[in-house]
Amino acid sequence: MFFMLHRKPSFSKAVANMLLFLIIGTGFSCNNSEYYPKPRGYFRIELPEKDYRKFDSVFPYSFEYPKYANIKFDGLNPVNKYWMNIDYGKYHAKIHVSYKSLNNRELYQFTEDAREMAFKHAPKAVGIKESVYSNSQKKVYGLAYRIEGRDAASPYQFYLTDSTHHFVRGALYFNVVPNNDSLQPVIDYILKDINHLFETFEWKYSGK
């Protein structure tokens, strides 16, 4: 005759089973918890205090520009000798400035060309806001285009004219892959410099 021996589980085995149930229960409770992704962060950009100097030369116009930027000329383009770049090297940004003498040419054509160049960025923009600038005392009149959108290559363009002799066009570009969300602090910072350029802009006329 055979006898079946029944043994009580040892204390250590009971503890092990209890731990197993706890681990399984914790796993199920974790699966029910919600996950909230963290918002995208960007590196903090250090921006210097505003300080300006005057650009005044043989050019038919003058203005004040920031001391933390440099003016560079295209020596290989003698036909357009009054063109320049206001270079923000540290921030990989440039304001391209071009000049045209009206010389009885149609002002309308220049303003339309400037408008077309601004609206070329419309496919990548979420909106383009126009703002008028006028200083009758200095005979400086213009129009600015604020191009909004994360992927817009040029966030700001403008033109200034006296409506009879001079026409200047400007465009802000960054030499990086467009991501205007991360660049927004720098864009806003440079736009203040462009506003200062408007306020200090003056024409030069021959014979004076």
**According to the model, what pLDDT value does residue 195 have?**
97
In this structure, the number of other CB atoms found within 10 A of the CB of residue 18 comes to: 10
Residue 88 confidence (pLDDT) above 80: yes
Dig out the tokens for 127 from the structure. Answer: 């909106």
**Spatial distance between the Cα atoms of 154 and 95, rounded to a whole number of angstroms:** 10
Could you tell me which of 109, 61, 66, 110 has the C-alpha nearest to residue 88? 66
Angle at 111 between CA 106 and CA 115, to 5 degrees: 150
Report whether 157 contacts 171 (CB < 8 A): yes
Distance CA 195, CA 192 (A): 5
Query: Taking the domains of the chain in order of start, what are their residue ranges?
Result: 60-203
In contact, 134 and 106? CB cutoff 8 Å: no
The pTM score is 0.76
> What is the tens place of the pLDDT at every residue in 105-149?
789 999 999 999 999 999 999 999 999 999 999 999 999 999 999
Res. 186: pLDDT tops 50: yes
Does residue 190 contact residue 88 with C-beta atoms inside 8 Å?
yes
Determine the CATH number of domain 60-203: 3.40.1000
d(CA 187, CA 172): 9
The yes-or-no verdict on residue 197 having pLDDT over 70 is: yes
Q: Which residues of 117-133 are buried (b: 16+ CB within 10 A; e: fewer)?
A: ebeebeeebeebeeeeb
Each residue of 44-80: pLDDT tens digit? 567 889 999 999 999 999 999 999 999 999 766 778 8
